[in-house]
Structure 1
Amino acid sequence: MKKFDVRRKRLSPVLKKILLVMKLTTFILMISMLHVSATVYSQATKLSLNLREVTIKEVLQEIESMSKFRFIYQNEEVDLNKKINASFKNEVIENILNKIFEGENIDYSITATSLILIKPDLKTGRSRQWRDNETYQPKMISGSVTDSGGQPLPGVTVVVKGTTQGTVTNSDGEYSLPNVSGNDVLVFSFVGMVTEEFSCPEGNVLNVTLQPDDLQVEEVVVTALGLKRQEKSLGYGVSKVGEEEISSASGASVLNSIQGKVAGLEMNSSQGGLGSSNRVVLRGNSSITGNNQPLYIVDGVPINNSTIEESVGVWDRKDFGSSAMDINPDDIESITVLKGPNAAALYGSRAQNGAIVITTKSKGAKDGIGVEFSTTNMFDMITEQSLPKFQNQYGQGRYVNNVATYDLINGSTSWGPKMEGQTFESWSGFQDNLKYAPHPDNVKDFFETGLRTTNTLSFSKSGANGFTRVSYTNLYAKGTLPNNDQNRHNLFIKSQVDLAQWLRLDAKANFITQRIDGGTWLGEATSNTIYGLFMLPRNVDLNELKKFNYQKTPNDPFTGTQMNPYWTTDYDELINKKNRFLGYAKLDFDISSKFSGFVRAGTDYSNHIVEERYNRGHKQLSTGRWIMNQYNTIETNLDALFTYSQRFVDLSMNANIGGNIRYEYSDKSFNQGDEVINEGFWNVQSFLTKSASYNYYKKQVNSLYGTINLGYRDYLYFDASFRNDWSSTLPKDNRSYFYPAFSLAFLANELINTEKINLLKLRLGYAKVGNDTDPYRLATTFGINPLINHNGIPLMDVAEIPGVRDLKPELTTSIESGVELKAFQNRLLLDFNYYWQSTENQILETPVSPATGYKAKLINAGEVRNSGIEIALGGVPVRGNGLEWETTFTFAKNTTEIVELSEGIENQVLSNLENLAGGIQIVAETGKNGYGKIFGKPLKVNGQYQLTTQNTFRTGVDPVELGNFNPDAVIGWLNNFSYKRFSLKFLVSGKIGGDILNATKAELSDAGVTKNTLDYREGGIVVEGVDSQGNPITANMNAQNYWAGLADYGEPWVVDATNISLKEASLAYTFKMSPNAFIRSVRFSVNAYNLLFLYRDKEARDIDPNQTWGVGNGQGYSLYNMPSASSYGFALNVKF
């Protein structure tokens, strides 16, 4: 049960443990950095092999898999198909190679981390590097190596054929190779590219373009538990977004970098100002009342992605951001999206909705010391496309009868007469008279030009024994709302060091501190700046609003619940502060070539303080109020994994077994003061009335899991995994739950003798995942309620929902199949996926009789099924002459079916908006497409308007289904054009189908401020319909009554949410640098984000259908959301 205590707590034992973990992690990192100095790797490394009847090539591959050695050779010069026996124990590499090539007349040369094998000159018995000086005329050859699109290729090996003499291109793709004779041949080789040979040029410059070797499909992706796997061996669908795509997306958070690029991913953004949350859903909503967002993993360690939303009912809500947005995009190397239970089952219950796996950068682009600086500067602007369409003909006032007689009265509506420059009493009291004239830009001019500037400086050091990377990032942002600012500091340290031949230490520490001032509440909250701004009568001048001490007059425009928007930005202070630590320490051990493993401890700790300051004079809190909520959250993961690998002639096997202990702790302290005594001193002692509370929860999940991966002749792969969880939040008899997963991948291209098909993979998977519940739901709880007291002493009250002792875990079963094709040298790419999944034993709240003293009870019931397809179609339509066009189109369609709820219940309310548009409910209802239905009052019944004899619309109409907030399909189209050193990218993303309640337009139409209300202003309208008995009736309405009547119905405001937008665009240029220059690389780009809508339904052109109202399950409506901004700016990256 939840614990409440009004006393202030000292630092808890849990927080002391957190501080200890942070200190230990920092100490380990410092020790790691001291050990990064290079040693002679070949002498320090001892290997053990036990291979029989294998080729020399297989032996070399085994050595590469268990060490840092890499082999460079020419197939025609080195016979690698000879079969040998290789049995060695703790031998250095020189001894192993001498034995392998015994009698083969092979010479080799060893560098710190690689080998170059050559065949001696048969005539002299010596390698060519020892030829007589008479035929050797040395000179320096330099140049650059690029890909087919003209982009530089770093890390290309350049070798004089037949010798050990060579070099590697730098980060700008440039090289210099001394002592090359006129008769030499240079060999250029790079992973994923066709190896090319060129004769020594007559001059000193040789520029080379390498073409992709599309027969190589060995791309590696990070899968569950941080395990790296060859993508071709996976029997389930994954999507990967690389560093370049992440850096080119100049959105407000790292999540913006994957929007529109991953089939099956839907993202909406909350709009409460800087730092607001994003809602991400993979393959539809599977839980009715639980969390539907994926699990986030950073460097193999799960992190907390909770969202803090302060709310008082459905109307007063503030979004203080989700935790995944704290991750710095400049520190990310790649993002892998595991879309469903098949891919993410090993992560356990929280991954039933998939997982987003983030891998951070490790070392620099070269060995030794590297320095990198990057800056991104974006300007945010509110444009007309995101604002309501306001009318500018009629001002403040109302109708006084049905024949268009107007009155200038006290009120916030714009139903007065035409604005023709008449004079009227100033509503502010500062002037005797004002001109009754329109102010067409009184909304747009309120917003400011926002700024987001991000500066990152990183240092890296790499050597034979490890690496260290340290980066510091500062993000400063000024929002489009006045006094809305964000400042975030991010210190990132990551290090890896070889402690011994068989032992490696890997550690990371990420310190984040952030402060956000300002922002806005959501909905019809009095302090919602947008609510007060949009409702302004069309004759109100912004300059008058800035004079806060205006007097009350008969023409006061703020007679409703809204406030002067300048007051909410200047005198309602929202302060959002966060300190966070993410870190881990990991020991990897390689006992032998077959046995390896790791042990790891990771933690995610955050201290989050949300402070609200309401000055004296607030419309609802006239005597002032101060609120401080402080949240401490900690998640600690202790895990271990042991791996056994074995390769036979036709069969490869990899088995893992491991376990995890996950501990979660969270507490919240609440302090509130009312009736200010000492203005300007924001603490509880400055207020007459005080209240406080404290609550916390703890949770632990213990897990065991294992996998086995089998490969047959490199064309058939079978994976099996299991996991068993024991959750502290479930009753003893149901605490343990087991779930398996299986997948199969078949590479048909290995059996097809054609060069046109590079990869043709068929895959099939099955998985089952369990999910527990929140803490303290097994027993009925009591707590101290500061809002009720006896003689000033707070009383305890009972929870609204009684405990349930027989709760069971939710269970999700998933089946997935797909086809992946790469053809015509990767000029054509296709990835198709079909999935079906069912989530049973939903943990639901069902209403009970008020006579019980409770609001609802918990039950296990219901089944939700999701099925759909995902398609990624792409390729390279143009490649040649330095020009390349790479394109990818993604399409995903999901259908959600509510198979059943609890007995006797046909729907579950996700969001109840009883005072909006006559009463709106967002529900989950049994049947196909039953999740996310929008119910409200229809405008017509049986084709007839429902009227009264008082010339108004009848309100007593039963609600019906008006739409569904889920889109029919989600699409994305990513394009990348490159020409020599230029690159141009753009992303188009969109949603097809789905509906949204444009509640903003309904409210503004009631107030008469939007263009649509110009209809019927002069003369009114005659509406024909029926009365409550079905008898024909006619109603004569003026415009004000007509639009006010429509605003009380849901049907006119539920609109098509289909939209297609130009989401990203970037034009970049990479400067050519001298190979020996101090500056190794310079890249400059101009970027734009959220540019414009290419298509929106005409009834939704005053809102952004991609915005959400918080991150919960009750989506599908827009109510005074912060207008979305378009961003334009530039970025600069310099490497030294």
Structure 2
Amino acid sequence: MNKKFNILMDMKKSQEMLMKRWSGLFFMLLLSVSVFAQNITVSGTIVDVNKEPVIGATVLVKGTTNGTITDFDGNYTLLNVPAQATLSLSYIGYRSQEIAVSGRTTISAVLEEDSKQLDEVVVVGYGVQRRSDLTGSVASVKAEDALRTMPSSNITDALQGRMAGVSIVSGSGQPGEGSTIRVRGVNSISGDSGPLVVIDGFIGGDFSALNPSDIQSVEVLKDASATAVYGSRGANGVLLVTTKKAQKGTTRVTYSGYVNMKTPSKMPTQLSVADNARLQNSYMEEVYGIPPYTVGRYFSNDEIAAFERGEGGYNYLDGTFRDVAVEQMHELSVSGSSEKTQFLVSASFNMDNGIVRNSDGKRANYRAKIDTELRSWWKVGATLWGYYSEKKGPSFGQNLNVLNRALMFPRFLSAKDEEGSYNDLSREPNPMRKVNEVKSDGYSYTSYFQAYSDFTILKGLTFRTAISLNLGNKNNQSANTKDSYQAHPSQAGYTSASVSNENSFGMLNTNTLSYIKEFNENHRINATLVYEQSYGTTYKNGITVRNLFDDDIAYNNLALAQSTETPSSDRTKTTMMSALARVNYVLFNRYMITASYRYDGSSRLAKGNQWYGFPSVGLAWDAQKEKFLNGVNWLSQAKLRVGYGVTGNQAVPAYSAYSQISQSVDSKGNISLSGTRRANPGLKWESTTQYNVGVDLGFMNNRFTASVDLYNKLSEDVILSVTLPATTGFSSELVNAATIRNRGIEVTLGADVIDNKQFRWHTDVTLTHNEGIVKRIDGIKSYMELSGNYEEKAYRYIVGEKIGTMWGYVNDGIWGTDLTNAPSGTSAGDYRYKNLNPEDGNDITPDKDQTKIGNGQPAFNWGWTNTFNYKGFDLSVFFVGFHGFDIYNNNDWLTVTDSRVSANPDWLNRWTPANQNTDIPSFQGKSSDKGISSRHVEKGDFIKVKTITLGYNFKAQWMQKATIYNLRVFASAQNPFIITKYSGLDPEVTLKNTLTPGADWGYYPNGRNYIIGLNITF
């Protein structure tokens, strides 16, 4: 009985406990439903103190990842917001706010500028500084603004003309080719004159390794007081690239893409096929007399009539260029964050068909970045990025390239005969062999990895250690098959194939100790100590074979070829160690000083010269903050800057402290060794000393701004390769034998011409003047001849003259029937050259009658950007101009001096007894050409409308249901117009070569681009 009672009591207790549990669960469910039911939708507008919308501000539910961003009008809408939550509002350059929701569905706010935060956005070497604290010459561009104006798969194209002192030239329209960048002129002859690129602290980065949309900003350090922190790498200027990070808030997916329809921007004027045939007949009559002829080609009236009807002949320019080429660019990124971790992953793909047939390129980029806060005093992060690229196409080198051969070849000769074989001349293969029989391609890939760890030791005192790795491979392969240009009997006469490969690895370790402290608002200090070490190795190899077994196999199995030329290989290892100290001190917010000293050691030089110090100092005075200017309300900025510094250039090949030998093989297979480059243990760094004076002005609350810089750079101990006497056993030696001076002026102007809620017009103008002069060349001669490439025969480095000086004969027209004082062997219709030394006789000789005939270095260049905004529309119009330089038109020289009859219409104005007032020689006289002369020098000045871009930003409220935060569509025309007197295709591409600016040997021209695209964020 008691036992049964106990069992019943236990069952009752269990039921009561079960009921309590179910009641509790039911209550919690009701509570959660009640809480969920209290979630609301909040919307509003975020503006600044001037009532202007703040675009892209983050609105976040505090403590969660639920957030959104404001649209073009500053509006936002945020779903599922707890009624009692707190909203966090933030935007770069503004003070963050937190606002309690308290059940409200409409919350608007005014964000105030944070002056300190605004000042901290300028990136300098190994750290950041307030913009107001800068003492050096630093230019800054937001990548988003540049790409909005000029959509491009290469960020350097979009940066052109935006920074004074930075010359960017689109040197080729060939897929995969980048722009040429120079900061304040050319400082080296043997070494590279391009600036150092630093990507998020990674020294020696590559723009092509980044998705353009991943770039946040580009800062350019121009004067030595700013670049000296990079020591032996800073002589050519420094480009600091800052990439984007994930913003706090909701996960975002962004796509950017465009399609580009490209066409040739200009085509040379040529004779029709019929007129070219008539010209050939005139040639035969004037050179060989009355028909019949035993040589050459003479056309009947019926054949010319057939040409008139479009039967026969060929347009070799049309065969070279595509009517329309298509480029595609696609970029996708995903970013997000929690309270302590941010991540960003992006990828892009670019497929680019060139305007020249069979020239194509592909590139894929990737990037993954993560940053996290492990402790309040400890942050770590890592980034992996890189690219893979392929490209192929015909040669556009100095000589025998596609373009000049198409211009030289007669149009009356069809590309192929009835059997499908190419029609060739006896001494000239058909140029379509160069276009259609191309077996030339290559690929490259490079990966970069960077990891860092930040420690906050004390308030204001931080330590960062970072390690960076890079791994790369390049492969190029080409084949001259039986139908190729080079295999023709008039050229090499045999088939061949080549393969080359290059592997590289690099490592960089940077350790930075920084101290930033402000004392009672009157004293501010920013001090940095850096210890850095790097290691790099490169291995190259290559081989060429002759007489291929099969055209289809070509370079895929070189062992099947009949003969092998001498293979080549090369391995280099270099190391470098550096220490840096820098301090920036600000007194009373208006007196600034920055001083630094870097000490570099490099394995490239011999003992005794491996180490070198690079000091710098910069001073600045912000006069606008002085009491005597307090009442000048229209003046918002007045800052004077002066700077001095020494930088270096590692223009030294590895192992230059050792002698170099080469191998040769005779006809019997015997191998011999000979000296090529003699060791020079006294070889030193190239060093550049620079002085800079600048002023920054702002008016009407910086509605109008102006910056002017004057600089003087002296590059000493410039390295040259000098020829040695045969008695030394060596052919050359590297010596410190030259001095180059660059000096100039830079002007930057900006204005908000119209600025109201409905319409905004902002304009920027940059103007750059640089004069690079050779001040010293050691040796017997006061000049240095350039050799190695065809166009370099026209150039000399002459003491006291500008870099890019052209050297040759002075054309004096055409000899007429009066041959008084003519050189021996002269006939009427021959080229006439000025006799600069008549006392030595009438003959024209290169050592006595050649002189300066032009200069390819522009006197100044400029850029002008105009941006218009009206409601959701934006319009950008961008101009660039280069002035005060000459171009040596090699294409013109080839088409009016070669023995064949080209389709150049200038031949219609040739010298004849009835047409003696001309500068075109007779058919017989064209062989009297002596080569480089002023006859083919033209003015290269040009103004380009670089881009016209129209975009529209859709309003956020139209896209809320699709969860689209931002949508912009755009159309752009690039290179639509050019103003120039130059007769060639593209004067801009002639400026890409540092040592020979202004030489046009038929380089790949830039096309005219028509782009449509969109940017969308989810």
* 1-structure distance, mates of 2:39, 2:387: 54
Equivalent position of 2:643 in the other structure: 765
Contact (CA 8 Å) 1:965, 1:996: kept in 2 or not?
yes
Structure 1 counterpart SS, 2:794: strand
Q: Out of 512, 516, 530, which is 1:658 matched to? A: 530
Equivalent position of 1:373 in the other structure: 255
Matched, 1:355 2:238: yes
Equivalent position of 2:909 in the other structure: 1015
Change (3 A) 1:856 1:403: closer
Could you tell me which runs of 5 or more consecutive residues in structure 2 were left unpaired when the two chains were aligned.
Answer: 1-37, 82-86, 488-492, 834-843
Matched, 1:1131 2:1013: yes
Could you tell me which runs of 5 or more consecutive residues in structure 1 were left unpaired when the two chains were aligned.
Answer: 1-136, 161-165, 181-185, 305-322, 427-432, 1026-1036
Equivalent position of 1:1050 in the other structure: 933
Equivalent position of 1:115 in the other structure: none
Give the % identical residues. Answer: 22
Equivalent position of 1:154 in the other structure: 56
- 1:693-708 equivalences under 5 Å are 693-708=568-583
Letter in 1 for 2:648: G
Shift, 1:550, TM fit: 2.2
Structure 2 counterpart SS, 1:620: coil
Q: Note the alpha carbon deviations across 1:678-720, whole angstroms, 9 max, x for none.
A: 4422221121112422111111111111101111122121111
Contact (CA 8 Å) 1:913, 1:921: kept in 2 or not?
no
Change (3 A) 1:536 1:465: same
Contact (CA 8 Å) 1:213, 1:825: kept in 2 or not?
no
Q: Out of 660, 664, 689, which is 2:563 matched to? A: 689
Change (3 A) 1:149 1:931: farther
* 2-structure distance, mates of 1:1111, 1:411: 42
Shift, 1:1014, TM fit: 1.7
Change (3 A) 1:946 1:1080: farther
Letter in 1 for 2:395: T
Deviates more, 1:1002-1011 or 1:885-894: 1002-1011
Structure 2 counterpart SS, 1:349: helix
Contact (CA 8 Å) 2:964, 2:1016: kept in 1 or not?
yes
Structure 2 counterpart SS, 1:368: coil
Contact (CA 8 Å) 1:448, 1:479: kept in 2 or not?
no
- 1:385-534 equivalences under 5 Å are 385-387=266-268, 393-395=275-277, 397=280, 399-402=283-286, 422=304, 443=318, 446-525=321-400, 528-534=401-407
Letter in 2 for 1:673: V
Letter in 1 for 2:1008: S
Contact (CA 8 Å) 1:420, 1:437: kept in 2 or not?
no
Equivalent position of 1:47 in the other structure: none
Q: Note the alpha carbon deviations across 1:484-538, whole angstroms, 9 max, x for none.
A: 222211121111111222111121111311111224241323xx32233222313
* 1-structure distance, mates of 2:437, 2:719: 43
Structure 1 counterpart SS, 2:964: coil
* 1-structure distance, mates of 2:349, 2:517: 47
Equivalent position of 1:256 in the other structure: 157
* 1-structure distance, mates of 2:197, 2:375: 32
* 1-structure distance, mates of 2:342, 2:80: 32
Equivalent position of 1:268 in the other structure: 169
* Cα RMSD (Å): 3.8
* 2-structure distance, mates of 1:1119, 1:594: 57
Equivalent position of 2:460 in the other structure: 594
Q: Note the alpha carbon deviations across 1:85-115, whole angstroms, 9 max, x for none.
A: xxxxxxxxxxxxxxxxxxxxxxxxxxxxxxx
* 1-structure distance, mates of 2:348, 2:292: 55
Change (3 A) 1:386 1:296: farther
* 2-structure distance, mates of 1:281, 1:1107: 14
Structure 2 counterpart SS, 1:275: coil
Equivalent position of 2:504 in the other structure: 633
- 1:986-997 equivalences under 5 Å are 986-997=877-888
* 1-structure distance, mates of 2:69, 2:258: 28
* 2-structure distance, mates of 1:844, 1:1119: 25
Shift, 1:1105, TM fit: 1.5
Structure 2 counterpart SS, 1:394: helix
Structure 1 counterpart SS, 2:678: coil
Q: Out of 980, 983, 986, which is 1:1096 matched to? A: 980
Shift, 1:1126, TM fit: 0.7
Contact (CA 8 Å) 2:169, 2:992: kept in 1 or not?
no
Deviates more, 1:688-697 or 1:720-729: 688-697
* 1-structure distance, mates of 2:192, 2:585: 34
Shift, 1:443, TM fit: 3.2
* 2-structure distance, mates of 1:515, 1:768: 40
Equivalent position of 2:690 in the other structure: 814
- How many residues are treated as equivalent by the alignment? 927
* 2-structure distance, mates of 1:984, 1:1047: 52
- Structure that is richer in helix per residue: 2
Change (3 A) 1:614 1:560: same
Contact (CA 8 Å) 2:674, 2:729: kept in 1 or not?
no
Equivalent position of 1:675 in the other structure: 547
* 2-structure distance, mates of 1:945, 1:464: 89
Matched, 1:926 2:799: yes
Equivalent position of 1:777 in the other structure: 656
Equivalent position of 2:965 in the other structure: 1080
Equivalent position of 2:674 in the other structure: 797
* 2-structure distance, mates of 1:585, 1:300: 11
Q: Out of 827, 835, 842, which is 1:950 matched to? A: 827
- 1:956-971 equivalences under 5 Å are 956-957=844-845, 958-971=849-862
Q: Out of 1049, 1064, 1078, which is 2:947 matched to? A: 1064
* 2-structure distance, mates of 1:792, 1:864: 46
Equivalent position of 2:19 in the other structure: none
Q: Note the alpha carbon deviations across 1:1025-1070, whole angstroms, 9 max, x for none.
A: 9xxxxxxxxxxx9732355546845201111111110112211111
Deviates more, 1:694-703 or 1:478-487: 478-487
Letter in 2 for 1:570: N
Q: Out of 292, 296, 301, which is 2:197 matched to? A: 296
Q: Note the alpha carbon deviations across 1:213-255, whole angstroms, 9 max, x for none.
A: 9999626211112x12112211111111213234222345221
Matched, 1:330 2:213: yes
Change (3 A) 1:1081 1:299: same
Contact (CA 8 Å) 2:345, 2:368: kept in 1 or not?
yes
Change (3 A) 1:881 1:642: closer
* 2-structure distance, mates of 1:868, 1:818: 12
Change (3 A) 1:596 1:139: closer
Q: Out of 721, 743, 751, which is 1:875 matched to? A: 751
* 2-structure distance, mates of 1:1072, 1:409: 77
Matched, 1:235 2:106: no
Q: Out of 732, 753, 757, which is 2:607 matched to? A: 732
* 2-structure distance, mates of 1:794, 1:269: 45
Change (3 A) 1:959 1:329: same
Structure 1 counterpart SS, 2:956: coil
Letter in 2 for 1:905: K
Shift, 1:273, TM fit: 2.5
Equivalent position of 1:714 in the other structure: 589
* 2-structure distance, mates of 1:870, 1:530: 37
Equivalent position of 2:699 in the other structure: 823
Shift, 1:894, TM fit: 0.8
* 2-structure distance, mates of 1:578, 1:406: 59
Contact (CA 8 Å) 2:329, 2:350: kept in 1 or not?
yes
Change (3 A) 1:809 1:406: farther
Contact (CA 8 Å) 1:386, 1:1101: kept in 2 or not?
no
Matched, 1:607 2:488: no
Q: Out of 736, 754, 764, which is 1:860 matched to? A: 736
- 1:121-132 equivalences under 5 Å are none
TM-score (norm 2): 0.84
* 2-structure distance, mates of 1:251, 1:546: 42
Q: Note the alpha carbon deviations across 1:572-596, whole angstroms, 9 max, x for none.
A: 2111111110121111111111320
Q: Note the alpha carbon deviations across 1:1074-1115, whole angstroms, 9 max, x for none.
A: 35751111111112222220x212xx1323111148645233
Letter in 2 for 1:1059: F
